[in-house]
Structure 1
Amino acid sequence: MQSKPFITLVGAGPGDPDLITLKGIKAIQDADVILYDALVNQEVLAYAKPSCTKIYVGKRAERISTSQDYINKLLVDYALTHGHVVRLKGGDPFVFGRGGEELDYVRRFNIPTAVVPGISSSTGLTGLQQIPLTYRGVSESFWVITGATSDGRLSDDLYTAVNTKATVVVLMGHAKLDQIISLYKENGRNDLPIALIQNGSLPNERVALGTIDTIIEESNKKTIGVPAIIVLGEVVSKHLAFKIVKEKIQSLAV
């Protein structure tokens, strides 16, 4: 017998399949249909029951991808015809995951919904790198900002964030890295520590550390590409590798 229409948004975490929550796994096990994104580690799909229909609806910057309107329609269609649909997203559904937009759409059809939060890359990948987003006397808050708006412009919030002492984490911003660096230089933040984390939590993870003045060179050395997050702030200097380099420079200056 077909189960009643129901949609659950599930955050799969930043990449490592071990970082999905137990509640997320239970939702996958119960799903009749799973619509999953590009950044979801497909190992977690192994938790699904054999009869579950799995559909890739990935979206990637600067690549041909599934439109949001089409995904919205799939969610409703499969819920009405199959029952429990799990919308599986990388990170957390409500941190630049368009989870709110999808809920707005499916609620128009009176379909019950639930959300299982996931570990966002903004907090998870910095934590794995042992970069504290807040630190007494250094950073009292952290901001999470998208790298670009829907029309391709640099986010207006970055023009405000450049002057804050808060830690700034930029998601989906690697394509705008040159513009971000120029913005920080224009505001005299040349010595501000910065980190780039690509494929965080995965075996092919790459990390580049430096300052606003040096990060482009470091990024080129490490061949950093997408997907990557950008972390700006004095807390980046707490990264063990950053501290080792800094200590070496200081010892040479003595």
Structure 2
Amino acid sequence: MTISTDRPVAVITGASSGIGAATARELAGRGFHVFLGARRTELSEKIAAEIDGTALPLDVTDVDSVSAFAAAIPTARVLVNNAGGAKGMASVRDADEEHWRWMWETNVLGTLRVTRALLPALLASGDGHIITVTSVAALETYDNGAGYTSAKHAQAALHRTLRGELLGEPIRLTEIAPGLVETEFSLVRFDGDEDKADKVYAGLTPLTAGDVAEVIGFAVSRPSHVNLDTIVLKPRDQASATRAFRRS
């Protein structure tokens, strides 16, 4: 299946909920035809219908899925690498290798696969832009988080390396590194445990998915010669990955 459109194309991975879904709405509002890639197509299809976009199945951990996804996209000006996540809060001593494998497959190799597959189209657009959503965990480490922080550090290294490798080409690269954002992130990390997930945001006002999406929209809408390399955004109540002000 190949789909054509006369609007500039933005491609978003992990687009069925959270930051991905909010970014789909943000970029559609800025005039893009948005291709939403996600495993949960029943959710992404509803968003696509709402914004006149296109939902396609995508599992970034599956090479064939990524190939089929990229083949269905005729052109692309913006790619938002948003698919990712965390599993567990085990120490290195008690590390679950399956959790580590999933985090590296999704955050690092997933970003690699999708970027590599869509890079020719992004370059051919003459004004490409790769947005990679990392985390403050790409800038810091914290106890019991080595699986996630190491994956996010590696994902960021991949993205930052591309910045040099593509220098002189018609393409921009922006890393978005959010702090605490209230989405399904913590539910996934704690295997659906709502009590544990709620405690992550207790006593403070976290960012919303829409807050992050607005920043992505701002970066994308800058003039072509302006490259916002790295944008770190955190709630006012958060100073670092491990330090936050919480009200009783």
TM-score by length of 1: 0.34
Q: Write 1 or 2 for the structure with the bigger share of strand.
A: 1
**Rg larger in structure:** 1
Q: Write 1 or 2 for the structure with the bigger share of helix.
A: 2
